[in-house]
Structure 1
Amino acid sequence: MIGWYVHHHGWGHLTRMQAIRPHLDDEVTVFSSLPAPADLGDDTTWIRLPADADPVPTADGALCPAHELGDVTAGGALHWAPIGHPGHQRRLATIADWIARHPVAAFVVDVSVEVTAFVRLLGVPTVVFAQPGERSDRPHRLGHALADRIVAPWPEGLFDAAELSDQHERVRHVGAISRHDGRTRRPADDAARRALFLSRTLDASRLAETIDLLTARGWVVDTAGARDDDRVDDVWPLLCRANVVISAAGLNGVADIATAGARAVVLPQDRPFGEQEHTARVLQAAGLASTAPAGSSPAKVVELVERAAATVPADWSRWGATGAAARAAHAIQEVTS
Structure 2
Amino acid sequence: MSRPIGYYVHHHGDGHRQRAIAIGQSLDNVMLMGSGLAYRTGNLPFLDLPDDRLDDSFAGIDHVDRPSSLHYAPLDHEGLRQRTALMTGWIAEARPRLMVVDVSAEVAMLARLASVPTVYVRLSGRRLDAAHLDAFRAATALLAPFQDALDDDETPRWVREKTFYAPGIVRSASQNISANDDVVLVVLGRGGAISNGEHWAAAARAAPAWQWRVIGPCTVPADLPPNLELPGWVDDADAQIAAARVVIGAAGDGVVSAVLSARRPFICLPEPRPFDEQASKANRLAVVGGAIVRHEWPKPQEWPSLIGRAIAQNQQWSACLESESGPERVARWLDDLCARAVSNRSHIA
Asked if Structure 1 and Structure 2 have the same fold, meaning a TM-score greater than 0.5 normalized by the shorter chain, the answer is yes
In structure 2, C-alpha distance between the alignment counterparts of 1:206 and 1:248, rounded to whole Å: 15
2:157 to 165, 182, 185: 165
Contact 1:195–1:246 (CA<8 Å) still a contact in 2? yes
Counterpart check, 1:93 vs 2:85: yes
Counterpart check, 1:51 vs 2:51: yes
**What is the correspondence of 1:288-299 to structure 2 with a 5 Å cutoff?**
288-299=290-301
Shift of the 6–170 alpha-carbon distance from structure 1 to 2, 3 Å rule, reads same
In structure 2, C-alpha distance between the alignment counterparts of 1:23 and 1:186, rounded to whole Å: 25
Q: Corresponding residue for 2:134?
A: 142
In structure 2, C-alpha distance between the alignment counterparts of 1:240 and 1:180, rounded to whole Å: 12
2:204 to 193, 197, 211: 211
Q: Corresponding residue for 2:302?
A: 300
In structure 1, C-alpha distance between the alignment counterparts of 2:173 and 2:197, rounded to whole Å: 34
1:12 to 8, 11, 15: 15
**What is the correspondence of 1:25-104 to structure 2 with a 5 Å cutoff?**
26-36=28-38, 38=40, 40-42=41-43, 44-54=44-54, 67=62, 70-71=64-65, 74-104=66-96
- SS of the residue corresponding to residue 184 of structure 2 reads strand
In structure 2, C-alpha distance between the alignment counterparts of 1:254 and 1:322, rounded to whole Å: 16
Deviation (angstroms), 1:310: 4.7
For residues 211-270 of structure 1, what are the alpha-carbon distances to aligned partners after superposition, in whole Å with 9 as ceiling and x for unaligned?
A: 3433xx221222222537722222132112200000111122111001111111001110
In structure 2, C-alpha distance between the alignment counterparts of 1:294 and 1:18, rounded to whole Å: 35
In structure 1, C-alpha distance between the alignment counterparts of 2:316 and 2:96, rounded to whole Å: 42
Deviation (angstroms), 1:27: 1.9
Shift of the 167–225 alpha-carbon distance from structure 1 to 2, 3 Å rule, reads same
| TM-score where L is the length of structure 2 | 0.82
Q: Corresponding residue for 2:334?
A: 332
Root-mean-square deviation over aligned CA pairs: 2.5
Q: Corresponding residue for 1:60?
A: none
Contact 1:196–1:224 (CA<8 Å) still a contact in 2? yes
Question: What is the one-letter code of the residue matched to 1:21?
Answer: G
For residues 123-143 of structure 1, what are the alpha-carbon distances to aligned partners after superposition, in whole Å with 9 as ceiling and x for unaligned?
A: 111111112211111000110
In structure 2, C-alpha distance between the alignment counterparts of 1:325 and 1:88, rounded to whole Å: 31
Question: What is the one-letter code of the residue matched to 2:188?
Answer: S
Deviation (angstroms), 1:314: 4.5
Aligned pairs, how many? 316
In structure 2, C-alpha distance between the alignment counterparts of 1:27 and 1:161, rounded to whole Å: 36
Shift of the 155–9 alpha-carbon distance from structure 1 to 2, 3 Å rule, reads same
The gaps in structure 1 that reach 5 residues or longer are 56-65
Contact 2:263–2:314 (CA<8 Å) still a contact in 1? no
For residues 78-97 of structure 1, what are the alpha-carbon distances to aligned partners after superposition, in whole Å with 9 as ceiling and x for unaligned?
A: 10001111111111111111
In structure 2, C-alpha distance between the alignment counterparts of 1:94 and 1:208, rounded to whole Å: 48
Shift of the 204–91 alpha-carbon distance from structure 1 to 2, 3 Å rule, reads farther
The gaps in structure 2 that reach 5 residues or longer are 56-60, 220-230, 340-349
For residues 294-314 of structure 1, what are the alpha-carbon distances to aligned partners after superposition, in whole Å with 9 as ceiling and x for unaligned?
A: 533343344312332355444
In structure 1, C-alpha distance between the alignment counterparts of 2:117 and 2:185, rounded to whole Å: 41
Question: What is the one-letter code of the residue matched to 2:136?
Answer: H
Q: Corresponding residue for 1:127?
A: 119
Q: Corresponding residue for 2:224?
A: none
- SS of the residue corresponding to residue 222 of structure 1 reads strand
For residues 57-90 of structure 1, what are the alpha-carbon distances to aligned partners after superposition, in whole Å with 9 as ceiling and x for unaligned?
A: xxxxxxxxx956x52xx13221000111111111
Shift of the 15–297 alpha-carbon distance from structure 1 to 2, 3 Å rule, reads farther
Shift of the 311–152 alpha-carbon distance from structure 1 to 2, 3 Å rule, reads closer
1:271 to 268, 273, 284: 273
Higher relative contact order (CA 8 A, sep 6+): 1
For residues 282-325 of structure 1, what are the alpha-carbon distances to aligned partners after superposition, in whole Å with 9 as ceiling and x for unaligned?
A: 11110111010153334334431233235544426522454243
Deviation (angstroms), 1:193: 0.6
Contact 2:168–2:261 (CA<8 Å) still a contact in 1? no
In structure 2, C-alpha distance between the alignment counterparts of 1:271 and 1:98, rounded to whole Å: 32
Contact 2:21–2:42 (CA<8 Å) still a contact in 1? no
Contact 1:206–1:297 (CA<8 Å) still a contact in 2? no
Contact 2:149–2:321 (CA<8 Å) still a contact in 1? no
Q: Corresponding residue for 1:199?
A: 188
| TM-score where L is the length of structure 1 | 0.84
Contact 2:169–2:325 (CA<8 Å) still a contact in 1? no
Shift of the 203–321 alpha-carbon distance from structure 1 to 2, 3 Å rule, reads farther
Identity percentage of aligned residues: 29
Contact 2:6–2:33 (CA<8 Å) still a contact in 1? yes
In structure 1, C-alpha distance between the alignment counterparts of 2:337 and 2:196, rounded to whole Å: 43
